[in-house]
Amino acid sequence: MTLKNKIFLDALKRENHQEKIPVWLLRQAGRYLPEYMKIRSQYSDFFQMIKKPEICKELTLQPLHRFPLDAAITFTDILTIPDAMGVPVEFISGKGPVFADSICKNEELRLNSDGALKKLEYVFEATSLIKSSIDVPLIGFTGSPWTLFVYLYYGESPKNHDELNNYLKLKSHNTHSYLEQLTETTKDYVHAQIEAGADCIQIFDSWGGLLDEKYQELSLNYINQIAASVQDDIPIILYTRDKLIDNIIDLTPIKCFNLDTSDNIDTHISKSITIQGNFNPQNFHADEDELKKMAELVYMKYKNKENYIFNLGSGLTPDINPEKVGYFLSQLSSFRS
């Protein structure tokens, strides 16, 4: 399908010359939408659902039917890679992802890259189906190797960071071995998404904030390897949660950054990079008058910026009313009309 507009891709390349702000949202498809919950209720396990390409296509398209968005993002999960590498994961209500095994319980845990890409075929099939059904750019994504390693270490969302830090000190070689394996599979995963139709890739370094002085060694270096493996005309966006990008910008070839809520757009907007994100999704709890003022402020500040994309600093959560999201986006869209 022919693209309706390219302002999202233009902004990624710092070439959006229109007074129109591109818009997409972290977790724009998900639990805050009643139409999503209706489908989710039909599946006992989240992974059972996302392994059905037609369902992923439908879930990806839901927010595009509701809101004036300038990009779609394939509905899948960052934990598809460890699942495909032989460590099954299920999502348990009230607990989140739980792996069948973990490094902290089993220091002999093996990852198997043989056949991993074949096991991920459902993602690529969904990507192709979505691409053929939309007239806006499609975002593919992956977790960073470090973030995937953190999940594999704990076997669930991390809690006691001292335990992980001790492992990093005592088992540095093992840590890098896991990160290298995850990086190689992630490269293949990203390339296959691009071949299936993804116009750009967002890397989610969700647990990058756990690292301080070792961030470059254990996370950014591996992210950079992935970015370097991608053809130059495919933009890469980096989202590192709980970490300011000041000390990252000069250490990576990546030129597009999704800021979390703690960072400051205006500190970076004049640099030769693209900025998206930072808007706190909890702002959507405001009344309509406040939402209109916020939309107008965003538009007036960034309408002439060739390198700005409106997005969030963290994902939409179930407590957010989609009608409020719709009202804000309709206001922002009305200013740019």
Q: Which residues are catalytic?
A: 27, 31, 40, 77, 151
Residues 92/97/102/105 CA torsion (nearest 10 deg): -50
Specify the residue for token string 């053809």.
231
**Beta strands 236-240 and 200-205: pairing type?**
parallel
The answer to whether the beta carbons of residues 233 and 199 sit under 8 Å apart is no
Alpha helix locations (H) across the chain? Answer: 7-12, 34-40, 46-50, 53-66, 80-84, 116-119, 121-131, 145-154, 161-170, 172-196, 215, 221-228, 265-268, 288-302, 322-336
What is each CA distance from 183 to 69, 178, 187, 204, in whole angstroms? 31, 9, 6, 13
Report DSSP state, residue 204. Answer: E
